[in-house]
Structure 1
């Protein structure tokens, strides 16, 4: 047996080994914890510092001077600004100071808004009041950056209107949202420069009579604000273009008056009004025209004194028209004046009686051609001219769309080269618009287009598509220098200008294919007083030959001294080739297949006020309306029509008096009746029957 000592010794050895293992495990745990803690940054000891011993650095978003404008905002605009005005005056504007509370109520830039109002925008000036429900002031721009009104610039967005004026106009238009307690301005936004070309009242002057007010023709809001101001007017030095009699403002709060007290929304506008206004008519008001009213005349000079018109406005003439002609858009009295003295002494009593009233009846009684009457002549009962390529659905008399010009159209928008369209051709959905300066090829189905300019100095007068085996292969053109032929490529576009073929036959006004040739295409082109020729074009769109006109045709046009406007050639009644030549003096017809023979034609009708051996004959034509002074025999357009291209039954032609039809079988001319346009809204306009173009619908 083992002794007790031996057993005890054995117990002691096992306990020693267990303690050694525990020590190793504890050591490993401590090392692991140290490695884990080493991954964290060091933590400084915390100590207490007395407030009086700090450096005074404020926490973010503080208001050091207590003016309720955050320091961060005042720091943003703390830099002083200076520049030289257009007349050499120095402009020096101080910035904001976060240590000076007085600048919150200052209007350094004289735009009618103090620093607090500019900080708060688009919220009202009380946005700094405790408990006012608002988000961040200012607004996000297109780059998602927050922008604010600049208290050092009178016109923050640079659109020509001071910030205070735009804020006033925004409020006037109902731009204040009572629920959101902020301004939302679709126009007159002092942080959006798009108002630069704004003409909300459409009172500009359509100088070119195209029915569209272009940017240069608009009488824009900035122009209306500044109307009458000196050319060297600088808002930061001169203030707002308004007149005030401080300290009180107007008791009226409608345009153009600037109210004060409880009626005023922006209380600093009056103080910012300029002192440079000379003899202003009225007080406590804006001095320019009204950008929301197309006719702003607000006073009348009766020969003795100036009388305000409020609440009446206007003289019947839009502001932009008056400004364009140097008249005063604020003075109603000049509507009845005749400054250029172009009236007419109707009763021959030695004097021209004045217009005494703006009514249409009174204007007719007066012999003077007053300013208002001259405007009404321009206005023309609302009729206007819309040039260019237009499209509309048949039987839709009120809606149409105008195709823009290529240099003025947005990307991927179908357009044309020029508004002066001389001829149109179409094949399988592809349109060939032949304009004054070139040809636009437009595929509406594929929304593709190509544009082909004429050489410098060449002007297109007329043109048509040349067909072979049912498809077009060339564009044949009559120009101011002669004939031009452009080949068509497989995709329908024109070949490069180097592949075009030319015949310099002199100015060609009208051009048409001749139907009497079986092989190559022959085309006739005519101009002034017998000038012109005939070309032969092969299948590759090349001009092979140029021929002289037949002697009979040439001499007849020369004798009449007629200018050709349109040509048609075809089988009349399916039996005889006839050439129809429409001119500014009548219709000439000759039986010929080639136009190169000696055939002598005749004038179906003819008229000219000049002395001419050809007798006048217009008995078959519709008479011109009363008051018209055009030529009743002038032909603007002609179209042969019948069951097929080789069997023409009638010739349609249009004159200043209306639509006419020449029956080729029975040889008589028909007009009036169903051929007369009934007018618009019950009014028969003489212009509605002045025909310029004809297109048979096939019905």
Structure 2
């Protein structure tokens, strides 16, 4: 048997085909198996005493040359024989195969030196190549690849390296520092369970013990401790103070540093509740409004069991409920749907909109409710939410009201024409400035001009509100004898600056030249007027079409 064959057989004989013991803790699986490749004993890798031929490590990979040649078949002059980015010594120490990079071409036997048929048979075994090997393998199923485990210093064969009951990947996502009087505590470090840390003082520990021992739905305080009776701050505390202890946040895959992990406008504790919830945030037409007095509402997923929260109904890779911004995948966040899911709120709207009925409730676990236009405002339910993408995260409109902001312009017309449908004051605005100075008293001119005047300043901008006689521009004239004098031009009326016709440096030579136009409020062609242009004779019957409030192509004249 030649050297390559001996190396191959040595590798095969060191592989351990053990059972994979998996325990589910929340979303990720915890694998306590040591691995499919036998770890070398530390004294075998590093040797004992002074360096000798037996302990010489030419490539500095942590494996003595003798072991590389006789036991592992790895190269003595290459610290990463299989080229997977992980050193041979680290792989062996952590139960990985230093000759298997997870790809299909790990072993190539020279046909002139080996039995080709025998080599093919060995390469076709189920053990090698092993998808758990190599940089992208994940033998402990904790969500971290072997390369990331190496970078973090965690054990690729154990989903919970520090034995605090929390998945390594979950902890690595939310590591955070907390400053205490006694020093800085790094929470959610996958290499440290923070057993009885500085945050767990006597008072806090007693309060937590009372809480856990009094709540029959949670483990007891003793059950949450380790064999020495110590408790992990990473696990037992409620870092974001949302009512969910950290270990339960890990179960749901939520962020222990944020009350609303998925930013869907509902706190995590509300999403996972199985009973009535008492909240200080409004629903219905007061959606997302902070309340002085709390209200009772049914939790959004109250009827769902624990298994449902570990599922993924829309197939987006996120767990149902507090981990998924849009659990049912219909494009509307859970919080928006939750706002309009209560019959109590809908009943208040039925008298205002005769087209509604008591079945028109959104459901964050039902993807079929996105495309109805219940209030007949020109926006379906999904579009009522999508308005927020333009005007801000909470500036969506109501699926129950034609005119959410009560400014007499429908939500659909406002949003489709670039107007803010949650701004009840914009009906009186004229953003395209297509009103006009009907009586001609708003023209700013220099009526005392003798020869010429040079514009030296314009003191207002378009759309500014100005008062009568307020200085809006300045000019400079030349007096007899050559002296210069500054003159101020004031607004002739109260109104809005609609047009500015001059700029600094311009030379004006006529008293009739208009420097700017000021339009009085009653002369504007407002947004509401633009909408009402659809009723040309004002009889309440649509006999035309609304004009564009952001384009001055239509003028009131």
- Interval containing the TM-score (normalised by the shorter chain): under 0.3
Higher relative contact order (Cα pairs below 8 Å, separated by 6+ residues): 2
Tell me which structure has the larger Cα radius of gyration.
Answer: 1
Give TM-score, length-normalised by structure 2: 0.27
Give TM-score, length-normalised by structure 1: 0.22
Q: More strand per residue: 1 or 2?
A: 1
